[in-house]
Structure 1
Amino acid sequence: MTTEPGLRERKKKRTRTALVRAAIALFTEQGYEQTTVAQIAAAADVSTRTFFDHFPTKEDVLFMHATERTELVKHMIESCDGSETPGELLVRVLKENLLTTVWNQDIVSGAVTLRLKLIKTVPAIQAFALQRLLEVEEQLTDALCAAYPDRLTRYEAAVMVGSTIGGILGALRLTVLDHDDPEKVRESLLQAIDVTSRGLRHFDTAASVPLS
């Protein structure tokens, strides 16, 4: 009985992964707008109802790993022990996630390249991606503020999160669409994090003085 929840969760994850892989393959082969939810479900060998048990919309399939990463980053920020400055924490957390989870799940599989191409060409994906970006930045800003309540204002936390995510997205846009070599993408992400970390030093200096 004690293993049943774990088994259910693993089965759920396998189904979600199968749906994502099927969707990416179909989007690549026949186009996003030409692909239906029914086709994705059939390719993953599940029912359409099962698809909607896991994803509210077709757009959500493209961003599954992004949603999981956001939750992981939030958890890591919320679990910090306060020994790092806010900037050091952001850099460490994003490096750990970008160079493991993102790289393995999205870059190697080609999901990042496909997502960026669709963001540029499909209005529905553009709108969805913008909404998701705003939600992610707000969630991470809240988490950072909660982790350093006496050291950061909400404005400072928002600027730190926004500038860091913006740098990473900029590197992805410039690199992923021009290269299919995961190592080049990895190097670009590292460089983007290093560049944005320089700007975070100002906030780390300011944050070293407790707010009055």
Structure 2
Amino acid sequence: MVEKLGLRERKKQRTRQALIEAAVRLFQDRGYDQVTVAEIADGAEVSPRTFFLHFQTKEDVLLANTDVRVDLALQAITERRPGERLPEVLVRAMDQMIVNAWDRDLSSGLAALRARLAASEPALQARLLQRYLTAQAVLAQALQRAFPSRLDTVTASALVGAMVGAVSASALTALQRGDGPDEVRNAMRQATALVARSVT
């Protein structure tokens, strides 16, 4: 049974989403460098102080759902089903990330904007790399703990790196060629299946 969110948490999520939508709109209309945190806050009808309760920097708005994706993948790994094999766990973890979090980024335009800006904004590139490396380390540790007799730390890191790298690269390529959400999602799933087939 899905637990209902309290009023305060629902309001917090609405404010966060309003900030994301305002940032996406402003970045698309005026360009990333031209937009300030104060303008994003104003576009969402909140104060700059409220912005900073949700995000540390304007780069973080573009990475808004990263932590959600990582948490979903971690949950899929730690709640491994009895008898579930390594390739199946990897696919399910990635699919949780694709279905439950990427969908929001794809439909809102956040994923396409992030892909475009990541190619030209050094601060965003650095932030993305930091997030990827942290996420991969956390996921690799969880995977190694789930399959201790099968994986050492290096092998677990290699598997997670291959999977995350393949999914990210396929999404980026699909977004850059102008694919819609369904095509991007299919590209990511094809990448997941490709890597999973190499795991015996």
AA of the residue aligned to 1:31? G
For the 8 Å contact 2:72–2:93, the answer to whether it is kept is no
Aligned: 1:114 with 2:119? no
Unpaired segments ≥5 residues, structure 2: none
For the 8 Å contact 2:28–2:113, the answer to whether it is kept is yes
* C-alpha separation in 1, matches of 2:11 and 2:145: 34
Q: How far did 1:43 drift?
A: 0.5
User: C-alpha root-mean-square deviation of aligned residues, in Å?
Assistant: 1.8
AA of the residue aligned to 2:127? F
TM-score (norm 2): 0.93
AA of the residue aligned to 2:180? D
- 2:172 paired residue number: 173
- 1:12 paired residue number: 12
- 2:87 paired residue number: 87
TM-score (norm 1): 0.88
AA of the residue aligned to 1:59? E
Q: How far did 1:83 drift?
A: 1.9
AA of the residue aligned to 1:85? R
For the 8 Å contact 2:69–2:101, the answer to whether it is kept is yes
For the 8 Å contact 1:82–1:147, the answer to whether it is kept is no
Q: How far did 1:97 drift?
A: 2.8
Residues 23-73 of structure 1 deviation map (CA, whole Å, 9 limit, x = unaligned): 111111111111100000000010000000111111111111122111121
For the 8 Å contact 1:179–1:185, the answer to whether it is kept is no
Q: How far did 1:82 drift?
A: 4.4
For the 8 Å contact 1:70–1:136, the answer to whether it is kept is yes
- 1:31 paired residue number: 31
Unpaired segments ≥5 residues, structure 1: 202-212
- 2:46 paired residue number: 46
Q: Structure 2 matches for 1:184-195, cutoff 5 A? A: 184-195=183-194
- 1:162 paired residue number: 161
Q: How far did 1:149 drift?
A: 2.2
SS in 2 for 1:149: coil
* C-alpha separation in 1, matches of 2:171 and 2:46: 33
For the 8 Å contact 2:69–2:100, the answer to whether it is kept is no
Consecutive aligned runs of 4 or more in structure 1 exceeding 3 Å deviation = none
In our comparison, the structure showing a higher alpha carbon Rg is 1
- 1:78 paired residue number: 78
- 1:210 paired residue number: none
Instruction: Provide closer, same or farther for how the CA distance between residues 157 and 82 of structure 1 changes in structure 2, counting only shifts above 3 A.
Output: farther
* C-alpha separation in 1, matches of 2:8 and 2:145: 33
- 1:130 paired residue number: 129
Aligned: 1:59 with 2:86? no
Residues 85-117 of structure 1 deviation map (CA, whole Å, 9 limit, x = unaligned): 2221011121233134312x0112211111011
Q: Indicate the percent of aligned positions where both proteins have the same amino acid.
A: 40
AA of the residue aligned to 1:184? E
* C-alpha separation in 2, matches of 1:158 and 1:190: 20
